[in-house]
């Protein structure tokens, strides 16, 4: 159980495991000011730095969902480091190398966005628009996709969250949703 | 272990395009583990065991996703599933990628709103602090509050003239008493 004072890495991580949205919001709030002040040393535009910070939090969100990820420093140090590296890339500034051998360094960022995803094509464009519509409509299929692909819940957890009865039903529902989506896309693209 | 399913994926994918003799020959060339897995896998499918149960029985060493892909590939080979019902991995990866992009943007917007709300609350707190300080300081009258400056005008009241005389007489008497006592 996380301590109510949320002082250590583990406290934040435990909270995130119990409540992902609440946990990431608290991490965002508690570490923001220090990170922003740290980055302002290198670049004066606060709005740009805030955007980088938001993305840094999203990177941390993805990493915390990866069971193989291990945080080897404090959350604050991690955020400061990855945001600073990303800032330097954006402003085309050379990374500074410290003489301290034990200084933490990390190049984590969005892997899929860095490689621009699976390559842009017409199907992707239509699919993007259709998913956006499903999200706005509050579609159950979209909710399922969100839990599977973004929140990375297991089938068992999703079964409980969405009350699908068994993980098998959940799996079948996911494939039915993908199937309907694909048929709709093919229809829009004029494919047989 | 991943190689076992990859082997079988490759085998089932092309098995529908070759004759039975060649299929048997290619099957013999699969690794022992792949052949063993294929035997268990195909037995379960022939017994009409559901995909969920197949994953439960065989999924301890392999990922659910890989077994599911293999299942659909086999059904396609067996002619039990039409092409249109097979969800290709490429399409699923595109869906996954786009859902992540949409959700990240939703969270970014949420963080931006949180930042604006915090700024608003900070501004309100600062204003409240200023108000509190103003309340604690002594009130300064504004110029408009001040009445006309008092001008000391000569009073119209007539003072009693005898009062002053009696004061002087009293002081003289006191002075005489003091001198008498000094030179006594």
CA angle, corner A17, sides to A13 and A19, nearest 5? 110
Confidence tier at A115 by pLDDT (50, 70, 90): very low
Instruction: Give Cα separations from A27 to A1, A24, A175, B93, B122 (angstroms).
Output: 16, 5, 34, 29, 19
Which chain A residues contact residue B51 at CB under 8 A? 168, 171-172
- Quick check: B94 and A58 CB within 8 A? no
Q: What's the pLDDT at B31?
A: 87
Does residue B87 have a pLDDT over 70? no
Q: What's the pLDDT at A3?
A: 54
Percent of chain A whose pLDDT exceeds 90: 48
| Interface check B84 vs A, CB under 8 A | yes
The answer to whether residues A177 and A141 touch, using CB atoms and an 8 Å cutoff, is yes
Instruction: Determine the average pLDDT of the residues in B53-80.
Output: 81
Who has greater pLDDT, B38 or A36?
A36
Q: Smallest Cα–Cα separation from A131: which of A120, A144, A115? A: A144
Does residue B142 have a pLDDT over 60? no
Q: Smallest Cα–Cα separation from A144: which of A124, A117, A172, A118? A: A172
Q: How far is B49 from chain A, CA to nearest CA, in Å?
A: 12
What sign has the CA pseudo-torsion B49, B53, B55, B59? Answer: negative
Instruction: Determine the average pLDDT of the residues in A158-183.
Output: 86
| Interface check B92 vs A, CB under 8 A | yes
Q: How far apart are CA B80 and CA B51, in angstroms?
A: 14
Chain B residue with CA closest to A32: the answer is B115
Q: Which residue from B52, B64, B98 is facing A127, i.e. has the nearest CB?
A: B98
Q: Smallest Cα–Cα separation from B3: which of B43, B37, B26, B28? A: B37
- Quick check: A113 and B84 CB within 8 A? no
The answer to whether residues A108 and A82 touch, using CB atoms and an 8 Å cutoff, is yes
| Interface check B122 vs A, CB under 8 A | no
The answer to whether residues A159 and A165 touch, using CB atoms and an 8 Å cutoff, is yes
Which chain A residues contact residue B98 at CB under 8 A? 124, 127-128, 131
Who has greater pLDDT, B156 or B22?
B22
Question: What HEC string does A78-96 produce?
Answer: HHHHHHHHHHHHHCCCCCC
Residues of A with CB under 8 A from a CB of B: 24-25, 28-29, 32, 50-51, 54-55, 57-58, 61, 110, 112-113, 117-118, 123-124, 127-128, 131-132, 135, 142, 145-146, 148-150, 155, 166-168, 171-172, 175, 178-179, 181-183
Q: DSSP letters along B41-74, please?
A: HHHHHHTT--HHHHHHHHTTSS-HHHHHHHHHHH
Instruction: Determine the average pLDDT of the residues in A44-53.
Output: 94
Q: What's the pLDDT at B128?
A: 75
Which chain A residues contact residue B84 at CB under 8 A? 183
Which chain B residues contact residue A132 at CB under 8 A? 102
Q: Which residue from B84, B99, B104 is facing A58, i.e. has the nearest CB?
A: B104
Q: What's the pLDDT at A166?
A: 84
Confidence tier at B57 by pLDDT (50, 70, 90): confident
């Amino acid at each position: 159980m996380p301590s109510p004072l949320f002082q250590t890495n583990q406290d934040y991580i435990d909270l995130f495991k119990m409540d992902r949205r609440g946990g990431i919001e608290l991490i965002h709030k508690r570490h923001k000011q220090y990170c922003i002040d740290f980055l302002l040393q290198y670049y004066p535009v606060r709005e740009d730095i805030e955007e980088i910070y938001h993305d840094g939090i999203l990177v941390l969100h993805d990493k915390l969902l990866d069971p193989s990820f291990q945080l080897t420093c404090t959350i604050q140090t991690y955020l400061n480091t990855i945001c600073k590296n990303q800032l330097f890339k954006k402003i085309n500034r050379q990374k500074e190398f410290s003489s301290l051998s034990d200084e933490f360094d990390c190049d984590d960022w969005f892997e899929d966005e860095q490689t621009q995803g699976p390559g842009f094509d017409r199907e992707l464009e239509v699919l993007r628009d259709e998913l956006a519509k499903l999200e706005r409509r509050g579609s159950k299929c979209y909710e399922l996709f969100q839990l599977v692909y973004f929140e990375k819940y297991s089938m068992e957890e999703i079964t409980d969250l969405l009350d699908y009865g068994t993980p098998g039903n959940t799996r079948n529902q996911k494939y039915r949703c993908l199937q309907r989506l694909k048929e709709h896309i093919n229809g829009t693209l004029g494919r047989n | 272990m991943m190689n076992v399913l990859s082997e079988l994926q490759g085998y089932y994918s092309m098995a529908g395009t070759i004759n039975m003799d060649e299929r048997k020959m290619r099957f013999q060339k699969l690794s022992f583990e792949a052949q063993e897995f294929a035997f268990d896998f195909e037995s379960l499918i022939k017994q009409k065991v559901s995909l969920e149960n197949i994953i439960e029985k065989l999924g301890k060493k392999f990922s659910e996703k890989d077994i599911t892909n293999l299942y659909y590939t086999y059904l396609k080979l067996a002619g039990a599933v039409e092409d249109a019902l097979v969800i290709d991995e490429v399409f699923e990866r595109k869906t996954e990628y786009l859902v992540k992009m949409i959700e990240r943007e939703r969270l970014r917007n949420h963080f931006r709103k949180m930042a604006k709300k915090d700024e608003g609350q900070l501004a309100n707190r600062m204003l409240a602090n200023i108000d509190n300080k103003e309340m604690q300081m002594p009130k300064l009258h504004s110029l408009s509050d001040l009445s006309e400056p008092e001008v000391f005008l000569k009073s119209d009241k007539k003072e009693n003239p005898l009062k002053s005389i009696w004061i002087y007489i009293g002081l003289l008497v006191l002075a005489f008493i003091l001198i008498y006592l000094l030179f006594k």
